[in-house]
Structure 1
Amino acid sequence: MKALVALLLLTQLLNCKSIPVGPFQPLLSRVIDCDDPESEEAAAIAVDYINSHNLHGYKFALNSIEKIKVLPRRPTGELFLLELDLLQTECHIVNPLPAENCTVRPITDHVVEGECDVKLLKLDGSFSMLSRKCHSKPDSAEDIIQICPDCPLLAVLNDTRVINAVNLALAQYNGEHEDVYLRLVEIGRAQILHLPDSVSVEFAVVVTNCSGKDAQEHVDGCLPEDQVRFGFCKASVLTEGNITVSCEVYGHQAGVTHDHLTKEHLGGEIPSLSKGFKHHDLRHFHRGPAQDTSDSSSQEAPVATPPAAPVAKRDVGAVLDPSHPPPPIDPIPGHRLPLCPGRIRHYQV
C-alpha cells in the first residue's frame, strides 16, 4: 500500500509543468538634484531636527547639500540619504529664535563647520528622521590667518583665562542688576586677543529665583525659576580690569527646560565633555530617538548599480565656462546622475 502511494506521488511530480522564473528585476533609485525643492525640504527637516536635539553649543544653518540618494523602501515609502554641510550661527541653543532666522557667523570669526549624514523616510508625502551622524570642527587656523591675519582664534574652553573672564563678567552683570541673579550654565566660545590683551567670551545663563541680595546670603539655594528662563551673554575682559558685558534674557519657552544644562551643569565652569576642546562638537552633544544607526524597522529594496560611466571628451572651453556647466553623463538610457553638490548658501569653508 505504501509503495502504491509513493508511486502515485512520484507520477504527479513528473507530470507537473515547471514554471519558468525570470531574472530578478531590481528597483532603480530615483534621481533628484541637490537643489531640487524635494531635496531642500528633506534637508530643512533634517537641520531642524539636528538643532532641536543638540544638547550644547550653537544652532547650525544649512550651507549646502553635498549629496543625495533616494531609494525605494519596502513595503512602501522612500529613503532619502543626504550629506549636508552646515555652518554655526550666532544663536545658542537656549535662544528661542528659529535657526533659519539666526545670523551665520562670518568666516573671520573662526567659523565652525558641521557635516552630517542623515537618513529620512518619506511616507505619504511626509518626511521623518530615521538616523543622523554628525560632527563639527573649526576652520583651520591657517585658513583664518590667511584671510585675516589679525583675527583671534578660538581658545580652549577650560583655559583658566577664559574661566576667569566668564566669572568676572557674570559677577559684574549680577552686581549691576540686583533684581535678578543669573547663574552660568555653559560657556559657548572664547577668543583670546593679544592686542589689546583681552579675552572675549560668550556664555549661556539661567535666571534664578533669587535677587542679588538673596544670592549673597545663600547662593547655592538660587535655582532656576519654575517658569525657567534662559539668557545669553557676551563679554570682553581686559587684563587691566576693564569689563564690558551684555546679557539678553529670553522669555519662558513652554516645554523647553534644557534639563541637561540646568541639572547637570548649573553653576559649573563648563560641561565635562567639552574640557580641552575649543567648541561643542556635534559628534558628542546629541540626544533623541534618531540615533547614529540605520532604520531597523524598514527594508531597502535592492537597487541596481548603474554601469561605470564612459569617459567622454568635452570641449575645454565649455567645461571652464561656469555659465554652461557640462551635463551629467547618462550611464544608462533614462537614468542620469544627480546635479550635486548643490548651491552654497553662505560661503565656502
Structure 2
Amino acid sequence: MAVCLFAVLLCFAAASVSASPAMSACNRRDSVAAARFAVHVINDQRLHGFKFMLVEIMNSKYQKDVWGVCHIALKVKLLQTKCHFTYPKSHEQCDLFRPDEGGTAAICDIKLSLIRGVSTVNRYNCITRPEPSKEVLAQICPSCHIMHSLDDPTALKAAQEATLRFNRDGNRRNYFALMEVAKVEIGYIFHTGKITLLQLVLVETVCLREDGISNRYVNCAPRCPDKATYYNCYTDYDKFKVLGDIDCDSYSKNPKPGPPDAWEPTCELFIQSPKASACKAQLNYPNPDKSVHHICPFPLK
C-alpha cells in the first residue's frame, strides 16, 4: 500500500514490503532481521526530528496462527542519530550523538506480521527520552550543554530571526521557510553567561526572490521532498538577544531538483498539520520530554 501524506512533507511507502529470506522461518532466529526491517519502517515514516538506529533487541516473541500468518512482537532500544529525517542517507550510515552531546533513546514495542513472503509492521509505540537524562548529564559533565524545550519562546524567536537573516543575506533563487527547530541546548560561557544553541532545518519554498521582499517566505508553501533543497543550520542566541553566526549545509533528496514549475504541488509542514497534534495527544506515557522529537505512535488514530 502506498501512502502520500502531503500534510507532513513526506511521501512514503507504507509498512509492507517483500520479506527477505532471513525473515521467513517464524522463529527467534529471525529477530535481528525483523527488528532491522521495523527500524527502517519507523525511519521511513518519521515526519519530524532525527533518524534512529537499532542498538538492542530487548525481547522477541513469535507465533504462527492457523492460517499460517507469523505474528512477531519485538521490544527494542533505539538511539537517535545525527541525521535529520529529511537527510538522504540511511540511518545505518549516520553517526550517533555522544552522551555529552545530548543523546536520545527510544524503547519501542513493535508488532509485525509475515505472510506469503510479505512482512508488515502493524503498529509500534515508543517511549522517547534523553539519554543520559539531564540530571545524570549534569552530574557527569557539569560543563556540558543541556537539552532544552523545542518550543521555548527564546529559541523560537532566535529561529525566526535566523530564518529572516538567511533569506535576507543569501543569493538563493527561492525563499526558505523554517521547517522545524531540530534541537535546542542551553550553555554558559565565561564572561557572556547563558547562551541558547540551536539546530534548525530550513526547507525551500515555491516563492522566488525576484520581488525583493525579504519576509515573503512567511506565507510561502514548501516544495515537496522530491523537489526541495534543505539547509541544516546551527546558530546561537545570547542573553543580550544577539543572534550569532549561522552555519549551514545544504542537501536534497533529488540531485537535480530544478526550479519550481507553475503546476508543482506544494506541501505543508508537519508542525502545522493535524498529525502533529495527534502525535502529541497520543503519546501514552507520563511527562513526555519537550526537548526531544518523539517517535509518533503508529498508526495514529
What TM bracket, shorter-length normalisation?
0.7 to 0.9
Q: Which residue of 2 aligns with 1:277?
A: 290
Is the counterpart of residue 161 in structure 1 residue 124 in structure 2? no
- CA deviations 1:281-329 (Å, max 9, x no partner) are 22xx355xxx379xxxxxxxxxxxxxxxxxxxxxxxxxxxxxxxxxxxx
| 3-state secondary structure, aligned to 1:151 | coil
- CA deviations 1:319-342 (Å, max 9, x no partner) are xxxxxxxxxxxxxxxxxxxxxxxx
Q: Unmatched 5+ residue regions in structure 2?
A: 1-25, 256-264, 282-287
Is the counterpart of residue 144 in structure 1 residue 137 in structure 2? yes
Larger radius of gyration: 1
Contact 2:124 2:297 in 1 (8 A): no
Contact 1:57 1:188 in 2 (8 A): yes
CA deviation after TM superposition for structure 1 residue 217, in Å: 7.1
Q: Which amino acid aligns with 1:83?
A: K
Contact 2:128 2:294 in 1 (8 A): yes
| 3-state secondary structure, aligned to 2:222 | coil
- Measured in 2, the distance between the counterparts of 1:163 and 1:205 equals 14
Matched ranges for 1:170-185 at <5 A:
170-179=163-172, 180-185=174-179
Matched ranges for 1:293-332 at <5 A:
none
- Measured in 2, the distance between the counterparts of 1:244 and 1:152 equals 18
Change (3 A) 1:43 1:259: farther
CA deviation after TM superposition for structure 1 residue 229, in Å: 3.1
Contact 2:176 2:217 in 1 (8 A): no
- CA deviations 1:216-237 (Å, max 9, x no partner) are 3744453334733333222223
- Measured in 2, the distance between the counterparts of 1:163 and 1:232 equals 16
Q: Which residue of 1 aligns with 2:126?
A: 134
Matched ranges for 1:45-60 at <5 A:
45-60=37-52
- Measured in 2, the distance between the counterparts of 1:258 and 1:109 equals 35
Is the counterpart of residue 245 in structure 1 residue 246 in structure 2? yes
Contact 1:131 1:292 in 2 (8 A): no
TM-score if structure 2 supplies the norm length?
Answer: 0.72
Matched ranges for 1:26-37 at <5 A:
32=28, 36=29
CA deviation after TM superposition for structure 1 residue 238, in Å: 3.1
Q: Which amino acid aligns with 1:134?
A: C
CA deviation after TM superposition for structure 1 residue 59, in Å: 1.1
Contact 2:184 2:198 in 1 (8 A): yes
1:97 to 81, 89, 99: 89
Contact 1:210 1:222 in 2 (8 A): no
Structure number with the bigger relative contact order (C-alpha 8 A, sep ≥ 6) is 1
Counting strand residues as a fraction of each chain, which structure ranks higher?
2
1:193 to 177, 183, 187: 187
Q: Which amino acid aligns with 1:261?
A: L
Change (3 A) 1:48 1:188: same
Alignment size in residue pairs: 250
Contact 2:235 2:243 in 1 (8 A): no
| Consecutive aligned runs of 4 or more in structure 1 exceeding 6 Å deviation | none
Is the counterpart of residue 215 in structure 1 residue 228 in structure 2? no
| 3-state secondary structure, aligned to 2:252 | coil
Contact 1:121 1:127 in 2 (8 A): yes
Q: Which amino acid aligns with 1:200?
A: L
- Measured in 2, the distance between the counterparts of 1:61 and 1:276 equals 20
Q: Which residue of 2 aligns with 1:10?
A: none
Q: Which amino acid aligns with 1:246?
A: D
Contact 1:79 1:119 in 2 (8 A): yes
CA deviation after TM superposition for structure 1 residue 253, in Å: 4.3
Q: Unmatched 5+ residue regions in structure 1?
A: 1-29, 266-270, 294-349
Q: Which amino acid aligns with 2:75?
A: E
- CA deviations 1:237-273 (Å, max 9, x no partner) are 334535121223322549xx994516926xxxxx665
Change (3 A) 1:92 1:258: farther
Is the counterpart of residue 69 in structure 1 residue 61 in structure 2? yes
Q: Which amino acid aligns with 2:203?
A: V
Q: Which residue of 2 aligns with 1:261?
A: 269
| 3-state secondary structure, aligned to 1:214 | coil
Contact 1:55 1:260 in 2 (8 A): no
- Measured in 1, the distance between the counterparts of 2:144 and 2:211 equals 40
CA deviation after TM superposition for structure 1 residue 125, in Å: 4.3
TM-score if structure 1 supplies the norm length?
Answer: 0.63
CA deviation after TM superposition for structure 1 residue 106, in Å: 0.9
Contact 1:178 1:213 in 2 (8 A): no
